[in-house]
Structure 1
Amino acid sequence: MWRACSIHPNLKTHSIQCNRNGFIPIPHECYEPGVLVIGGIASQIFFHHNPVHFGEQPSQMLIEEAVVDTKHYQHILALVFAVKEINHNPRILPNITLGFHLYDSYYNAHMTFKATLALLSSQREHVPNYKCDVQNNLAAVIGGLGSQTSIHMATILKIYKTPQLSYGSVLSGWDDEQFSSLYKMVPNDGHQYKGIVQLLVHFKWIWVGLIVADDDNGEMFLQTLIPLFSQSGICFAFINRIQKMTYVFGMIELFLNKWKTFPLLMEGKVNVFVVNGAPPSMEELSWHLRFVDTNSPKGKVWLVTAHWDFESKSYQRDWDIQHFHGAISLTIHSNQPTEFRTFLQRVNPFWAKTDSFITEFWEQAFDCLLKESNGRKSDEPKPTCTGEEKLESLPGPLFEMSMTGHSYNIYNAVYAISHALHVIFESRSKLRLEPWNLKAWQLNHFLRRISFNNSIGDAVHFDENRELIVEFDVTNWITFPNKSFVRVKVGSLDPHAPTGKELKIQDENLMWHKWFTQVPPLSVCNDNCHPGYSKRKKEGEPFCCYDCISCSHGKISDKKDMDDCIKCPEDQYPNKAQNECSSKSLSFLTYEEPLGIIVVSFILSFSLTTVFILITFIKNHDTSIVKANNRSLTYILLISLLLCFLCSFLFIGQPGRVTCLLRQTSFSMVFSVAISSVLAKTITVVLAFMATKPGSRVRRWVGKRLANSIVLSCSILQAALCTVWLISSPPFPHTDVKSLDDKMILECNEGSSMMFFCVLGYMGFLAIFTFTVAFFARKLPDSFNEAKFISFSMLVFCSVWVPFVPTYYSIKGKSVVAVEVFCILASSAGLLGCIFSPKCYIIVMRPELNSRHHLIPRKYQ
């Protein structure tokens, strides 16, 4: 049967008196003797007291009634359970009985130092380095819950190099060689801070509020987390510091100063609060939430650190916890020892009458008075405790039947100490060591290297920084109107996993606050920029606050909240909404489209007309009108015009290597022959009339030889230009992806624009020269003269091709091809119509006029 020292008789008085040695006694302790003793500093009792004034004797310090963190009583029971389990296990420390000695820290530095010194001293006497009995052979100390408590303990224990296993948080800045005997049963806080950022990134929460304890731990939290926020694109809307309420008047003062502020935070558009805190600092948060308007509650996502828990003081049992429904926390991994629940079911206020913790716990947990304490005064009458109350009937914020993370750490700490001791005494034949001669510092060497599986099968071992290698559980907290809650494990965080695989979470198992209509809820500074828009930073505000601007021409954004729009690949183009790229269609003049059909119709019509005229002239080749203007030139002109019309087919269809080589060169050659023929006709007419003058020497030049020479020489010069073009920089097929937004133009690149315009300019030169000659010959007798018709046809040619040059540079795609085909057809049709339509009219419609008598004026007959 384990025993404990009884509660100090002055605990409930209004002042604490010093004992005869000048020490204020520690009100709460529990102790069970053993060959080796495990010390412990719990954090269960909390005093609200008035501030100390130096004008009063410390012995007269006024104390208000103690408040018990009822949930923390499980920490004590976990240590008791682990020690009893080990003492009944013949495979660990056989023939050696473990004992324990526990004090409370009271969340107070003075009392923590005092309790630590008491563990190092003989029982009932606070004299370090002196022992009056062998039953206080301290092997190691377990504690404390908060980082400050752990450091206060370590300040004393490091002097003796006594192993200290902290089951709560420890500031990273204190973890150096000066605390070489401090072991942490939880991973470094930096791991869970990174896990918080990973959770925020996972759910795309970039606009959050920070609520931290107003202490060193809170400052370390901010210094670590804020740079991680910036690296991950997360902003914080505010930082609200929670001050620890160490006395009654301070609590009232805090409430009066902040009660108006916190409801405003709850009503803001920040939907996610990242909370760092440990008891009792979370009491202030719960206090403020009581005054948030419950008629129109606005749910929040509470993302809390591992050392936060749903816990209530006795006076908070009626406080609503529905605000925390759906909260997510990175909790310390825990498991359930087989017999722990059965052990808790046997606990009652009479099972260990010397337990000085259980009285306050039982009375405040069940809101009653034990018979032994009926003499104490109470502001409100309370029923008498029967002692048959069941722990499982308490709501979760007051006590849990399942082992919590901190209790599981204590459980593992006891086993770690026991296994290390077991290893020591297994090799005691070499060390010549007896249990009563063991020095606590000798345990450090073995603790650092200890590695085992506990009774549940979880691995327990420390890393090089003396931190337990363990995962965090991602826990979803589900609350109920009856003040109870359920922890639901929805994932895990393994700090030692490969980068990017640390966090595992099952989104489908998460439950959110009923206020949210969208799950997972959003928490952003402003609405997301939808695809088709990009972000633009708002001046003077955090980078998470931005405006949305439409993507510029030619760019898209296919995701939400893109920093900048992106260009589509060259073979794609933005759709109208500018949120995706569509494949560009191929663009070239085809036979199937309406424009192609129209062009082909014109080509065939003009070609058939030319064939008809050629056949008509061949049938009437002996008539006067056919003979009148050099029959051979007429045939050459008609054939070249026919070929000009047919050359237009090279511009229709998908461009290829051969068609690109033939397009411009074939047309320019054939059309040059046509214009040369017209020029030869014009010169022949002029020379013919000059030869009629008496004594003219021009007569010897009149004939077919001159006409053929003109045609041949002009054509050879154009052929030379085309040859140079094809040799130096020939045309080739080309895909233009830039000119049109939604199409890729399949075209023929001319290779050398200079050669193209040289060829075109040469045709223009021939046309202008022909027009000039014909213009001066226009007044010759009409019957013999084609000059008027040739002049008009050259005007048609110039009026068609002169606008072609600016048009060629101003339009793109199939339109360029269509315009060039139009110019070819129009200029060729102009020659055909202007020169041959009058002759065809006479041949077909007025054959009686097709005679020498009618063609030659009387004065020349």
Structure 2
Amino acid sequence: MRFRYENYQQFQAMRYAVEEINQRSDLLPNITLGFYAYDSCAAQQNEIKGTLWMLTGTNEVMPNYCCRKSPPLSAIIGHSKSTYSMLIGHILGLYKFPQISYFSTSSLLSDRTTFSSFFRTVPSDVFQSRGLAQMVLHFKWTWVGLIASNDDYGYKGLEVIKQEITKGGACVAYIIYMSRNLIDQNIHNIVQVIKESSANVLVAFCTDVYLIPVLDEMLKQNVTGKSFVASEAWSISNVLTVPKYSSLLSGTIGFAFHSSTIPGFQNYLNSINPLNTPGTMWSTFFWEEAFGCTFPNQTNHSIIVNDLENPCTGDENLENLQNSYNDVSSLRASHNIYTAVYVIAKALDDLNHCRTLAGPLFNKYCSKLNNFEPWQLLHYFKKVRVKLSNDREVYFDEDGNPPAVYDIVNWHLGSDGTIRQVKVGNYDATDTSRNIFSINISAIWWPTENNEIPFSVCGQSCPVGFRKAPRRGKPVCCFECVPCAQGEISNQTDSIDCLKCPWNMWPNSRRDRCFPKPIEFLSYEDSLGITLAAISSFSCVVPISIFRLFIHYKSTPIVRANNHYVSCILLVSLSFCFLCALAFIGYPQPEKCLLRQAAFGLVFALCVSCILAKTIIVVFAFMATKPGSSLKKWTTPYLPYMIIVICTLIQFTLCVLWLTISPPFPQYNIEAKPGIIVVECNENSPFAFWCMLGYLGFLASVSFTVAFLARRLPDNFNEAKLITFSMLAFLSVWVYFIPASLSAQGKYTVAMEIFAILTSSWALVVCMFLSKCFIILFRPNMNSRENLMGKDRGRK
């Protein structure tokens, strides 16, 4: 058998704690502590025997009997293995006998119904499992594999890890349970699953014994690029730190029991004398193993075959040793034993300071320190609080667990190919003032290029401007990147949802930021707006110029032939038609929106009414001259003006009703053109708008029909033909305007209406007055009464 230096150090830690307490005056003054130490050699039968020996006080197994009277046995420290602690706990729980384990972590031991007197100075595996899951989430590993031993330790640990990982939004790629019996499992298939999985991080919840076959097969199959997360059962294992496994395990990060120091402990370890130390047989085993010598008249118990000429003197210097016995840099199990002794001492001290009427006994009486029952001391265990030299306070929760504090260790690859286990942080579940993780990221060594954190996700990271969308039939962590919808952004990588921009903002090209939408309206700064305004301004001068020409030649036959005054009204109204286009250019202010369509409707109604009046005058002029015509009584100088007033008044009424009941108003249109706010006038009542426009069409249609029917009437200047062409052009423009305006968007809708106004106005000017102006200016011989009458007679 091999002598284990670390176990002997743990034994000395218990001795040191007892001796230190016995020398203190503030803890159990005038009371001397003692201890028994049993070595069961990890055999269950010996565990039961040792437990019953301690309970009975003899070397005979006699249940329900105790011959020890003084001093009383206070508590039992042990066992290190959870399975054995459960075995002992079932027995000690019957007697309500305090039991403290320094290394048993199984969550089953937290069951107070079964293990009512069990306590421990190490946290339960539940805390470790939660911590490991939180560390996985801390490094943003959302796609991980889980492997564990097929025992209570592995099953319970992975159960909690899986729950916590899933709760945190990550996913488990696979779960593998390993057996110590290689015959019962196919290591090749296990490693094949690990190799083929896209999960680059493995959480291994097992001891090093289970992991070795898997690592050997991974080397055989040349598996690379996998990072391990270690449970405390193997995170500080020396068996796995050999160069053979460095390519697989370098960069491993995991939990280890909290390490600490014990002041003066190293000097104590180096002062041990093998000849007068409690546990003499263990001391001689240790001495012979450590120094490679043999005590005289002693059997060589060491695995090393020593030369009998190299006897042990007992004076060898322990300070020259470099092994796990006197390595006190990171005490874990030894410190837990040291803590357990202090917990027992503090509970005894609290019992000793019990005051009558405040004790745990009937009627609140107290028991005596030299004569108490185990359940009486158990009362103080539940409430004990011990302040250690490292300023940590130890106490137990309702399940007998101490505060959960772990070291985070990282496996650094040395230049010689060996691995060093370096503490890089802490996990303190009791810390409420800051993050429970305290990790020095710069101290972590990762086996990746540029020492970057390993990447382990089911899908590629989604950049800004994209969101994660789940893949059909895959876990939620397996996703694909989908661009944010129109009007939405994501300003973080791996966003689950895109954020909608405010109504007045729009995403940039990368869809990672919202910026104000540009405002669009037909403005005077716009080239299109300037062009239309210039055309409108120039166009309005043309009717005025013709008006002045008609005033100058008002006595000529061509001007007087078709009602000189109605033509002047028509020219003025046409000038206003051109000018009303300006009301559609510029920022749509409330007043402008309210009046522009009404002004357009009234001016054009006046214009078309004048043409209708001229058309009727032409018809009446020839029809009334026939003998017996009833139209003579209607042929008065006031008839055209009556037509103009009545037709315009109807349009005026329609506009007043529209503006009163449902007036137009300015609005921000964000739907017309994506990414642009179109400032426009909302007509509020499309029905009223189309009624106004329909009335204009009605007037124009009547004028066209009457003029068309009268086109063959004798007339040197044939006003009827001119009206026919002008109305045909007018109607054509507005008929084409309807589908064009419906298909246009934003400012182009307004531009289309302005274009229709200008075009239709020019059609009237050209068709009605171009030929007359040409005769007045360039054919004055035709502008005479003789010419007009002569042609008439010639036709007759």
Q: Answer whether TM exceeds 0.5 for this pair.
A: yes
3-state DSSP of counterpart to 2:158: helix
Name the SS for the 1:201 alignment partner: helix
Aligned residue in 2 for 1:289? 215
Amino acid at match of 2:171: C
Tell me what 2:29 maps to: 94
Alignment partner, residue 97 of structure 2: 162
Partner SS, residue 586 of structure 2: coil
Shift of 1:590: 0.9
Q: 1:239 aligns with which of 166, 175, 180?
A: 175
Q: Cα 1:375–1:415, aligned 2, differ >3 Å: closer, same or farther?
A: closer
Q: Which residue of 2 aligns with 1:419?
A: 346
* Of 300-309 and 591-600, the range deviating more from structure 2: 300-309
> Match for residue 769 of structure 1?
702
Once the two structures are overlaid, the 10-residue window that deviates more, 560-569 or 581-590, is: 560-569
- Give the whole-Å Cα distance in 2 for the aligned partners of 1:487 and 1:689: 117
The answer to whether the Cα contact below 8 Å between 1:570 and 1:738 also exists between their aligned partners in 2 is no
Q: Which residues of 2 match residues 221-620 of structure 1 at below 5 A?
A: 221-243=157-179, 245=180, 250=181, 253=183, 257-258=186-187, 261-262=190-191, 265=194, 268-277=197-206, 281-293=207-219, 298-312=224-238, 320=245, 323-346=248-271, 352=277, 354-357=279-282, 375=300, 388=317, 393-394=322-323, 400-427=327-354, 435-480=369-414, 481=416, 483=418, 485-495=420-430, 497=432, 502-506=435-439, 508-517=441-450, 519-565=452-498, 567-620=500-553
Amino acid at match of 1:711: I
The counterpart of 1:144, out of the listed 79, 84, 88, is 79
**TM superposition shift of 1:666:** 0.6
Residues 508/375 of structure 1: CA separation in 2 closer, same or farther (3 Å cut): closer
CA offset digits 1:392-422 (Å, max 9, x no partner): 733x7x9842243333322221111111112
Q: Report the 3-state secondary structure (helix = DSSP H, G, I; strand = E; otherwise coil) of the residue aligned with 1:704.
A: coil
Q: What amino acid maps onto 1:818 in structure 2? A: A
The verdict on how the C-alpha distance between 1:223 and 1:579 changes in structure 2, with shifts beyond 3 A counting, is same
Alignment-mate amino acid for residue 393 of structure 1: Q
Secondary structure of residue in 1 paired with 2:219: coil
Amino acid at match of 1:412: T
Deviation of 1:774 after TM superposition, in Å, equals: 1.0
Corresponding residue for 1:811? 744
TM-score by length of 2: 0.89
Q: Deviations over 1:474-524 (max 9, x none)?
A: 4444353464524324243324638xx552334533413233556222111
Offset of 1:353 from its aligned partner? 7.8
Which residue in 1 is equivalent to 2:120?
184
Instruction: Give distance in 1, aligned partners of 2:707 and 2:680.
Output: 38
**How many Å separate the matches in 1 of 2:589 and 2:470?**
50
Task: Give the superposition deviation at 1:90.
Answer: 2.3
Q: Which one-letter code corresponds to 2:572 in the other structure?
A: I
**Secondary structure at 1:161's aligned position in 2?**
coil
Is 1:212 equivalent to 2:148 in the alignment?
yes
Taking the aligned partners of 2:8 and 2:183, their CA distance within structure 1 comes to 30
Contact 1:326 1:513 in 2 (8 A): yes
SS in 1 for 2:36: strand
Q: Against the structure 1 CA distance between its residues 390 and 269, is the aligned structure 2 distance closer, same or farther, given a 3 Å change threshold?
A: farther
C-alpha distance in 2 between matches for 1:351 and 1:840: 140
Q: Give the conservation status (yes or no) of the 8 Å contact 1:783–1:857.
A: no
1:143 Cα deviation from its structure 2 partner: 1.8
Matches within 5 A, 1:779-790: 779-790=712-723
Structure 2 residue 22 is the aligned partner of structure 1 residue 84: no
What is the match of residue 75 of structure 1? Answer: 10
Shift of 1:185: 2.1
Q: Describe the SS at the equivalent of 1:437.
A: coil
State the secondary structure of the residue aligned to 1:270.
Answer: coil
Equivalent residue of 2:386, what SS?
strand
Alpha-carbon distance between aligned partners in 2 of 1:388 and 1:320, rounded to the nearest angstrom: 35
Alignment of 1:620-699 (within 5 A): 620-694=553-627, 696-699=629-632
- 3-state SS in 2 of match to 1:455: coil
Structure 1 residues 755 and 593: alpha-carbon distance in aligned structure 2, compared to 1, 3 A threshold: same
Q: Give SS of 2:37's match.
A: strand
Query: 1:706 is matched with which residue?
Result: 639
Using the alignment, how far apart are the partners of 1:432 and 1:707 within structure 2? 125
* 1:618 shift after superposition: 2.4
Partner Cα separation in structure 1 for residue 780 and residue 329 of structure 2? 122
Q: 2:424·2:444 contact (CA, 8 Å) conserved in 1?
A: no
Deviates more, 1:615-624 or 1:817-826: 615-624
Task: Report the Cα offset of residue 292 of structure 1.
Answer: 3.6
| CA distance in 2: counterparts of 1:369 and 1:320, whole angstroms | 34
Q: Kindly indicate whether the alpha-carbon contact (under 8 Å) linking 2:228 and 2:253 is maintained by their aligned counterparts in 1.
A: yes
Using the TM superposition, name which of 85-94 and 262-271 deviates more.
262-271
Gaps of 5+ in 1: 1-65
For the residues of structure 2 that align with 1:361 and 1:235, how far apart are their CA atoms? 49
Match of 1:200 among 111, 122, 136: 136
Equivalent residue letter for 2:380: F
1:304 and 1:823 map into 2 onto residues whose CA distance is 79
The amino acid that maps onto 1:461 is Y
1:125-171 CA-partner distances (Å, limit 9, x unpaired): 44455566667742111122232222112011112211011223132
Q: Is the 8 A contact 1:478 1:487 kept in 2?
A: yes
1:94 to 1:758, Cα distance in 2 relative to 1, 3 A: same
Give the partner amino acid of 2:352.
Answer: F
Q: 1: CA distance between counterparts of 2:238 and 2:13?
A: 20
* Residues 152 and 857 of structure 1, relative CA distance in 2, 3 Å threshold: farther
- In the alignment, what sits opposite 1:11? none
Is 1:745 aligned to 2:674, yes or no?
no
What do residues 43-79 of structure 1 show as CA deviations (whole Å, max 9, x unaligned)? xxxxxxxxxxxxxxxxxxxxxxx35654444433322
Greater Cα shift, 303-312 or 449-458: 303-312
Q: Can you give the 5+ residue segments of structure 2 that lack an aligned partner in the other structure?
A: 360-364
Q: Distance in 2 between the 1:191 and 1:856 partners?
A: 118
> How many matched pairs?
780
Cα 1:610–1:81 change in 2 (3 A) is farther
Q: CA deviation at 1:680?
A: 0.6
Q: Residue 293 of structure 1: SS of its match in structure 2? A: helix
Larger deviation, residues 507-516 vs 437-446: 507-516
The letter for the 2-side match of 1:304 is A
Cα contact 1:172–1:189 (8 A) shared by 2: no
Q: Deviations over 1:555-607 (max 9, x none)?
A: 54444344454544332334444444443211111111111112112111211
Report the 3-state secondary structure (helix = DSSP H, G, I; strand = E; otherwise coil) of the residue aligned with 2:391. coil
- SS in structure 2 opposite 1:144? coil
CA distance in 2, matches of 1:363, 1:802: 115
- Give 1:791 deviation, angstroms: 1.1
In 1, Cα distance between the equivalents of 2:453 and 2:329? 29
Q: Which amino acid aligns with 1:515?
A: T
Structure 1 residue 697 displacement after superposition: 4.5
Paired letter, 2:17 = A
- Give the drift of 1:455: 2.8
Between the aligned partners of 2:30 and 2:229, the Cα distance in structure 1 is: 48
Structure 1 CA distance for aligned equivalents of residues 326 and 83 of structure 2: 24
* Distance in 1 between residues matched to 2:525 and 2:241, nearest whole Å: 84
* Residue number in structure 2 paired with 1:42: none
The alignment partner of 1:262 has SS state of helix
Change (3 A) 1:520 1:105: farther
Report the AA paired with residue 338 of structure 1: P
| 1:115 alignment partner in structure 2 | 50
Equivalent residue number for residue 50 of structure 1: none
Answer yes or no: is the 8 Å Cα contact 2:487–2:675 preserved in 1.
Answer: no
Q: By how many angstroms is 1:447 displaced?
A: 1.6
Contact between 2:716 and 2:791, CA under 8 Å: does it hold in 1?
Answer: no
What fraction of aligned residue pairs are identical, expressed as a percent? 35
Q: CA deviation at 1:670?
A: 0.4
